[in-house]
Amino acid sequence: MNLTRREAVIHLAALLGATVVGPRLAAATFARQAHGFTAAELVLLDEIGDTIIPPTDVPGAKATGIGAFLAMMIADCYEADEQQQIRDGIARLASTYTDRFGGDFATGPAASRTVLLNELDREQRQYHQNLPAGSPAHYFRVLKELTILGYFSSEIGATQALRYAEVPGGYDPDAPYARGDRAWFN
């Protein structure tokens, strides 16, 4: 098969374009996949994330689609026994909320959700104080760390919650800072 220079350039341009567009198309499909979680569980994960990082003057974790991110990370990055522990913990969180406050966590008042998650945070801290090496992490710690990772690596977290510099400059030890300025994301 003989290619002309023009045909070779066209094929090369298509190949390079696919390397740029391909991952974005794949990433767009991840957001729609449930990764074995039900729609109700994704809503619950969204609300857990939004309670951990609530909206303020910038959107909260739910605005980033954190539920789908958590589902993907749990399904893709944890062993089957760890996944089951996390899923059991999520179910226990929902049932504990219902027993204590009545109703559903996803539709309950933010104050009640915050009370429960603060208790779970204290529980996971105590759990991890004397944890032997190789033991699985507390499910709430996993959810909290993944929420922070997902939020601050999202477009909203990186550009609205943090100050974003796509191409950072050199080190400036005397960079101007005013109280209340957002941290930099490079």
pLDDT along the chain (186 residues), means of 10: 67 60 47 77 96 95 95 94 96 97 95 97 93 90 96 89 72 79 69
Q: Based on the number of CB atoms within 10 Å of its own CB, is 149 exposed (0-12), middle (13-18) or buried (19 or more)?
A: middle
Distance CA 105, CA 24 (A): 33
**111-115 long-range contacts, CB within 8 A, separation 24+:** 113/47, 113/51, 114/51
pLDDT at 28: 46
Q: 103 and 113 in contact (C-beta within 8 Å)?
A: no
Distance CA 166, CA 54 (A): 26
Say which residues have a Cβ less than 8 Å from residue 88's Cβ, sequence separation at least 6. Answer: 139
Say which residues have a Cβ less than 8 Å from residue 159's Cβ, sequence separation at least 6. Answer: 185
pLDDT at 176: 78
Distance CA 62, CA 54 (A): 8
pLDDT at 107: 95
The β-bridge partners of 184 are 163
* Integer Rg of the chain from CA: 21
DSSP tag of 62: G
- Which token pair is 152? 């601050």
